[in-house]
Structure 1
Amino acid sequence: MAVPSAHEFHWQSLARLSSGRVYHTLSEVGGQMYMLGGCDTAGRPCPGLEFYSPEGDRWISLPPMPTPRAGAAVAVLGKQILVVGGVGEDQTPLKEVEMYNTEEGKWRKRNSLREALMGVSITVKDGRALAVGGMGADLLPRSILQQYDLRKDMWALLPSMPTPRYDANINLIGNKLYVAGGRQCKRPVKAFEVYDAEGRSWTTLPTIPCKRSYGGVVWDTAGRLCLLGGLRQGGGHQSSKFTKNVNIFDTNQGAWLKSEETVALKTKRADFAAAFLRDRMVVAGGLGHEPSALDTVEAFHPGRKKWERLAPMTFPRCSASSIVIRDRLLVVGGVNQCSFVPCHTL
């Protein structure tokens, strides 16, 4: 299949949210998008659950979560949405776990985590949720790996990660759970590890070449981890700097590509939307060296080995949530010069 040209991508403005939102979580069930929680314009975690209806181009309010929260980890188990941890109204981590049945339109409380956690990373394997790491109420990172069984409504502990962290980037390829980066006490970590679900063991992989935070993370269809842009952390007393650096790890080779084999972004940026869309890596918006949020968009053409400009976003933004559904990148909410911005699709 031919890689689409830059001219084939365009933005479409969708229905505005009922209110501004950041740190919300997007989820897909049956090709439909749901938005859970987040912080409102006053910075308070909210219990909202909303469904986007493409037919009417509108947001539909659904029964709210029992527990208001922002930055929750979300996993889809069949037709049900499992919501784990996050930050509560008192700005501390949560241990509450709740599940929404999209067919019944009802919430149910589930067995809580062993301790309150925020910054949990979650995925699904064989119908069970795997929750990785997190930060506890003491603000320290955790190395915990736990598995949720829906039928038993039970959390089981699996072998812990070698490196404690929260906000890690995870991806499941076959029986291998890759865990890259994350943070410890607000500082980014370079640790990269993989869990073998069959052997129930962890292996340490070559560390991330540079420390960065608020970068883009894309896993392509070839099983490669691509780390894009972000704030690069200097050594000693050096301040963080925006970067256009790109690092790529090939899981088949078990190594990071050499710098001459990668192509840097056109624009230095952090806190942007990133996705693998129609065989191309795409980055949109974020913060850079401009005084306000960026509206610029670029996509990597693998044949030409270059980043190309795409049509800019109608609403510049950073701190937005994004998700790919049916070959469309949906970018929801976010901030632009302290104002909240609506929904957008590419």
Structure 2
Amino acid sequence: MRTGRGRARSAAHRFAPLPTVTAALALTVVLLGVLPAAATNGTVWTTLPSTPTVRWGLAAAAAPCPVGQTGTCVYSVGGNSGGTSTGTTESYNRLTNAWSTVSPLSVPRRRLAAAAAPCPVGQSGTCVYSVGGLNTADATVATVESYNPATNAWSSLPAMPTPRAALASTAGPCPLGQAGTCVYAIGGNTGTANVATVESYNPVTNAWSTLPPLSAPRIFLAAATAPCPAGQSGTCVYATGGNNGTANVATVESYNPATNAWSPVTALPGPRSDLAAAAAPCPVGQAGTCVYAVGGSAPGATGTVESYNPASNVWTTLPAMPTPRLALGAATTVCPPGQTGTCVYAVGGLAAGGAPTGTLEALDPPPAPSDD
């Protein structure tokens, strides 16, 4: 493939992060307890216990906690650890403010994607899906597995039609003609080319469908599911940022499952790749659910955080992450102890200067006050 500078790279270095900028950075790592890190207009970052295993190029999702625990946990899945792909999977329980190591992927992978959706046919509850990536041989794979928290076990599922790494994934309403919630696999690189390919997995039918592609190929992009933009109804899938093979892009597109079509929406305020995304209540002063674009390469590790409001089709700049990072994961669930509401969690990645980090930070964007 081509890097962000357009130069060919050896297979051993495929999907390394885009060039970073070395800078002096004061890192605050809180291993026990929580620490409010920044606050602007009621929006607060909190630093939480780091992951037991430092990783980048990982994926994240929120799902029920593993057997023996209660509540919803944040899962960090796969990634690059010690210079190679790993199957390590860990869960953060906000009730105990602690990480647990759970069953690993059967196929270690980095530069994969993840989403939470109903478990596949024959199982009940909500599962974490791991999609695509690069294996330990540096080969691009179509591997898909689902983790069932109730059994603490991964199941192998039908492979994606198109092997891909550096892709994005999210769960949303299934496309036109199908019922239920599907897992979407968006963009990425096949090992020979960047692609605009979009495919969806239906847990009920245990089958993949090929959908309309993005307007152009993108890698290192992020995805989230939120209400459709103004003028459309229902819930849409958003593909945010990334790299087109020669440069970072600010492109944002929304896919409407009800019409089986992509639409352009307002671009990010600035181009970013290797970012993460999640959907959560909009920041204070706004109503509804927003898409949050977290960190990434601008180029160089950035702590930039912006939220997109589908109702106004406008991006809002929020307080930056305390730890600038790229190649990280993000997920949304209930806030940690001491806070209320729903938080966006940012986990792992590469900090400034290319240093791997296990940092976990949570952004609490309180919803707009009620008129009651």
Q: TM-score range by the shorter chain?
A: 0.5 to 0.7
Q: How does 1:1-346 map to 2 (within 5 A)?
A: 7-27=41-61, 28-30=63-65, 31-40=72-81, 42-46=82-86, 48-62=88-102, 65=104, 69-71=108-110, 77-78=123-124, 89-91=136-138, 102=149, 131-133=158-160, 143=161, 164-167=162-165, 169=169, 171-174=171-174, 175=178, 177=182, 180-192=186-198, 205-221=211-227, 222-233=234-245, 240-257=246-263, 259=264, 262-278=265-281, 279-289=289-299, 292-326=300-334, 327-336=342-351, 337-341=353-357, 342-346=359-363
**What amino acid maps onto 1:38 in structure 2?**
G
**What amino acid maps onto 2:309 in structure 1?**
H
Q: Which digits, 9 at most, give the CA deviation of each residue in 1:12-44, with x for residues without a partner?
A: 11012234212334352241233344332x213
| Kept after mapping to 2: 8 A contact 1:218/1:274 | yes
**What amino acid maps onto 2:275 in structure 1?**
F
Task: Tell me how far 1:83 sits from its aligned partner.
Answer: 7.7
Task: Tell me how far 1:287 sits from its aligned partner.
Answer: 0.3
Q: Which digits, 9 at most, give the CA deviation of each residue in 1:131-181, with x for residues without a partner?
A: 441xxxxxxxxx2xxxxxxxxxxxxxxxxxxxx342464645252656543
CA distance in 1, matches of 2:327, 2:305: 15
| Kept after mapping to 2: 8 A contact 1:171/1:179 | no
Between 1 and 2, higher relative CO (CA 8 Å, sep ≥ 6) is seen in 2
CA distance in 2, matches of 1:79, 1:199: 16
Q: Percent identity?
A: 21
Aligned length: 279
Between 277-286 and 20-29, report the one with greater CA deviation.
20-29
CA distance in 2, matches of 1:299, 1:171: 19
Q: Which digits, 9 at most, give the CA deviation of each residue in 1:237-287, with x for residues without a partner?
A: xxx111112222333334333x5xx21111210010111111001101100
CA distance in 1, matches of 2:320, 2:75: 25
Task: Tell me how far 1:89 sits from its aligned partner.
Answer: 4.7
Contiguous gaps of at least 5 residues in structure 1: 1-5, 114-129, 134-142, 144-163, 234-239
Match of 1:137 in 2: none
Root-mean-square deviation over aligned CA pairs: 3.9
| Kept after mapping to 2: 8 A contact 1:272/1:286 | yes
Could you say which structure has the larger radius of gyration?
A: 1
CA distance in 2, matches of 1:280, 1:198: 28
SS of 1:267's equivalent?
coil
**What amino acid maps onto 1:166 in structure 2?**
R
Aligned in 2, Cα 1:256/1:97: closer, same or farther, shift over 3 Å? closer
CA distance in 1, matches of 2:360, 2:197: 34
| Kept after mapping to 1: 8 A contact 2:172/2:225 | no
Task: Tell me how far 1:333 sits from its aligned partner.
Answer: 0.6
CA distance in 2, matches of 1:228, 1:313: 18
Task: Tell me how far 1:195 sits from its aligned partner.
Answer: 7.6
| Kept after mapping to 1: 8 A contact 2:80/2:86 | yes
**What amino acid maps onto 1:39 in structure 2?**
N
CA distance in 2, matches of 1:181, 1:98: 19
Aligned in 2, Cα 1:216/1:87: closer, same or farther, shift over 3 Å? closer
CA distance in 2, matches of 1:48, 1:197: 24
CA distance in 2, matches of 1:268, 1:86: 23
